[in-house]
Structure formats: C-alpha cells, structure tokens
Amino acid sequence: MLTMEKTADYVKRWVAAFESKDLDRVLAFYTDDVIFHSPLVARLSHDPSGTVRGKGGLRAYVAKGFEVFDHIEFTVLDVLRGVDSIAIHYKGITGTHVVEVLFFDRDGMVRESYVHYASPQ
C-alpha cells in the first residue's frame, strides 16, 4: 500500500517532470509495456481508440503534446490512494479539471494510466 508521504513525493516529481517538458524524465515513470488511455490521445493522434501501447507509443504521444502545448502547468487539487494505484485530480493545461488514475507494478512503475477530463459546461 502506498503511504501518504511516498504518494505526495511521487506526485510532486511526476508533475515536475511534465512541467519540465523533459521527455526522458517523463517516460522514466512508465513501464516498457505501459498502456495509456486518454481522450487527448484521440485528439492529438487521430486514433479514436484513445489508447497508446508501449513506451515507444507513449514517447510519440508525449512528444506531440510537448509540441502542441507551449507551456505545461498542472495545479494538483487532490490525490487519492488505492492499493496499487493513485488518482490525481488536477487542473490541466487548458484549465480543465482532469483526473488521472495511475496503476503501478511491483517496482513502482506506471503500468497503466486512465485520464479523464471534465465535460465542458
């Protein structure tokens, strides 16, 4: 089970990696066979499945996101802990509320991620 201290440190490092726009730093959080689900995948890659498989696919997706968005800033609003997962509720790049659920393997690497965006009002 993840402790509050380890979770807080992890989220701080995860956010900092994305905000740095350092691709290798971001990818260091994920397993080689990661599965990543996001509506933004469908939008940026024109893949209606919204799913990226493998670190190579995730690399291409994140690199595209870094090209499209000049500035990346996440404001963490809440973090919820599970047995082998965390859910990060944050205000994302466009000001939209996002909940990202990260599932970890035994080594603490993200093996699967589900990203959820608030519906437009």
pLDDT at 47: 84
Do strands 97-104 and 85-91 pair parallel, antiparallel, or not at all (unpaired)? antiparallel
pLDDT at 121: 46
SS3 74: coil
CB atoms within 10 A of CB 75: 11
Q: What is the mean pLDDT of each run of 10 residues along the chain (121 residues)?
A: 84 96 97 96 86 96 91 93 95 90 95 91 46
Give, in degrees to the nearest 5, the angle at Cα 100 between 98 and 103: 175
